[in-house]
Amino acid sequence: MRVNLSDLKVNVEDMPREYQGLGGRGLSSHIVGSEVPPKADPLGPENKLVFSAGILAGTTVPNTGRLSVGAKSPLTNGIKEANVGGSAAQKIARIGFQAVVIEGCAKELTGLKIDKNGATFFPAFSLKGAGNYELIEKMRKEHANNISSISIGPAGEMRLRAASVMVTTPDFHIRVASRGGMGAVMGSKNLKALLIDDTGCNAVEAKNKEKLREAVAALSKAILADPLGPGFRDIGTPVLVMIINSIGCFPTKNYSLGQFGGAEKISGEYMAELMKKRPNAQPSHRCMDGCIVSCSNVYTDENGEVIVSGLEYETIGLMGSNCMIDDLDSIARMNRVCNDVGVDTMDIGGAIAVAMEAGLLAWGDGKAALSLVKEIAKATDKGVMIGNGCKFTGEKLGVKRIPHVKGQCLSAYDPRGLKGLGVTYATSPMGGDHTSGIVLPNPGNPSYNPGSPTGQAAPSQFMQIYMAAVDSLGLCMMAGMPLLDPIPQSSLISCISAFTGEPLNANYLENLGKSVLRAERRFNDAAGFTKKDDRLPRFFLEEKLLPSGNVFDVPENEIDGVNRF
């Protein structure tokens, strides 16, 4: 479905031949790559905002309901895809669409609702300035309870570079397509909310139902066999706090240390104990129907009021240890404000830490950090600065050590001890990002040394290709990670083959991932990116990370070969 907001016209078209077989990130990146001029203003009418369901969305294949949100990014100025759980992608697929492409810009703040009868616009000026929590409640009351809501908060309306897009879960918590300023693009199009209602729509059917049933059973078994699965189910992604801290790669004090003295107090284990004492807390929660991992959670206060769902590792790393804040409630409250105003907790956490380095507020001061985040909605000078993310804030305050690549704040893993991930940060077309090719030590591969200066390009390349394919399927990363070996991977390929009715060979995922990365790389090259943009900030190369003493010393000629195929 193509929606032109400039003239409020809607077109439904068959999938063009060049996009056939694509979904999720693959489809959004091919559309943006072919249809958006690489030098276009990311906040102008030439940019397109693509909401794309994964290839397997709406099927019975577990964990495949992620929604890809793609556009040219106002944060990186390159191509971007941010994917998110929630119920929107499954509903888009059930209505019968692979993607909704938003073109042009509306004259006034607008809402759009899509259901089995097509698309209708509704005025949204009454929602001007509304936070996402208020908006979602209103939409639930005014429209059927069966909707999924995709929305922006005040930060998106203000077109701040770290603005995110929020998507509701089946039980109306918020999940976030957080990275790259996709909320600013939505705001530039004057689109406040996109509602998806699949009432009266049938389940998505496979071409070969029997084969799909068998393949899903084998795939589910492989996902559930992941030795890390119980940790993610019982403690959630914060289980990583103590693991990453123990290997000395937990970003601390604006990436100046790899271990945080207060790590235990913000760890997943501590959080799980705290939740036992708090009414309504859920240590295990599913952000979408069909999830069999349940890595999310619902974090409440002492009275049982929900603060946020879920409180995730990356937020704890960037807003916690990286700011020297060792209090989960403070981090959760900042997370809630970010969700409400609609910004990325990672880039905002990075921005607060550089502001602390500049002396704007004290290290570890959770109260001051929370009031700074609250300033975003008030549009004060400081709020606008923070809302534009880590790089903007660091440059404005004259900070030299800004942990970003291509304008996007790094994730919560220090690249000096995890050098394969450092190569991903440097070379991903997405900018500093772990999900586009996470490389971690793996007991199944004891010969891999994450601290060695050489041998890092190949694992990063492998994971970037794999994740580009995973993101195109709509598969959640937590379910994709246990499928790296050929046997479980063959069940995944069998699922796709049974669904599409096409025979697929063992190279299917590799070919898919490469085609996505090629399209993204081509766009970024044409937008003006060069090898110089595929570099980590100098301080990672020069400053020793304590306590290990590591620096990032992967040779440039190794880095330069990545994603050039």
- Closest contact distance (angstroms) between CB of 148 and ligand SF4 is 14
- When binding is defined by CB under 6 A, the residue of 162, 266, 293, 423 that contacts ligand SF4 is 293
Number of chain positions touching ligand SF4 (CB under 6 A): 12
- Closest contact distance (angstroms) between CB of 297 and ligand SF4 is 9
Stretch in the footprint of ligand SF4 (CB under 6 A) among 117-125, 128-136, 294-302, 417-425: 294-302
Q: Does 478 bind ligand SF4 (CB under 6 A)?
A: yes
How many residues appear in the chain?
A: 565
Residue 19 · residue 27 · CB < 8 Å: yes
Dump the DSSP string for 322-371. Answer: GGT---HHHHHHHHHHHHHHTB-HHHHHHHHHHHHHTTSS-TT-HHHHHH
Where do the H-state alpha helices sit in 15-109? Answer: 24-35, 88-95
Q: Does 296 bind ligand SF4 (CB under 6 A)?
A: yes
- When binding is defined by CB under 6 A, the residue of 94, 159, 189, 286 that contacts ligand SF4 is 286
CA distance 418 to 456: 9
Q: Is the CB of 63 or the CB of 321 nearer to ligand SF4?
A: 63
CA dist list (Å): 533 to 349, 408, 524, 528: 23, 12, 10, 10
458 backbone dihedrals φ, ψ, rounded to 5°: -65, -50
- Closest contact distance (angstroms) between CB of 298 and ligand SF4 is 11
Q: Does 223 bind ligand SF4 (CB under 6 A)?
A: no
- When binding is defined by CB under 6 A, the residue of 196, 295, 328, 346 that contacts ligand SF4 is 295
Stretch in the footprint of ligand SF4 (CB under 6 A) among 136-144, 287-295, 333-341, 426-434: 287-295
Q: Is the CB of 215 or the CB of 287 nearer to ligand SF4?
A: 287
Q: Does 345 bind ligand SF4 (CB under 6 A)?
A: no
- Closest contact distance (angstroms) between CB of 296 and ligand SF4 is 4
- Closest contact distance (angstroms) between CB of 175 and ligand SF4 is 7
- When binding is defined by CB under 6 A, the residue of 177, 288, 402, 421 that contacts ligand SF4 is 288
Q: Does 84 bind ligand SF4 (CB under 6 A)?
A: no
Closest CA to 255 of 360, 374, 369, 390: 390
Stretch in the footprint of ligand SF4 (CB under 6 A) among 32-40, 289-297, 353-361, 367-375: 289-297
β-pair type (296-300, 306-308): antiparallel
- When binding is defined by CB under 6 A, the residue of 206, 334, 376, 476 that contacts ligand SF4 is 476
Q: Tell which positions 395-454 bind ligand SF4, by CB under 6 A.
A: none
The letter for the amino acid at 461 is: Q
Q: Is the CB of 162 or the CB of 287 nearer to ligand SF4?
A: 287
Quick one: 377 exposed, middle or buried, by C-beta within 10 A (0-12, 13-18, 19+)?
A: buried
Dump the DSSP string for 166-200. Answer: EEE-TTS-EEEE-GGGHHHHHHHTTEEEEEEE-TT
Closest CA to 263 of 254, 272, 252: 252
Rounding to the nearest 10 degrees, give the CA dihedral for residues 464, 466, 469, 470. Answer: -110
Point out which residues bind ligand SF4 (CB under 6 A).
63, 85, 286-288, 291, 293-296, 476, 478
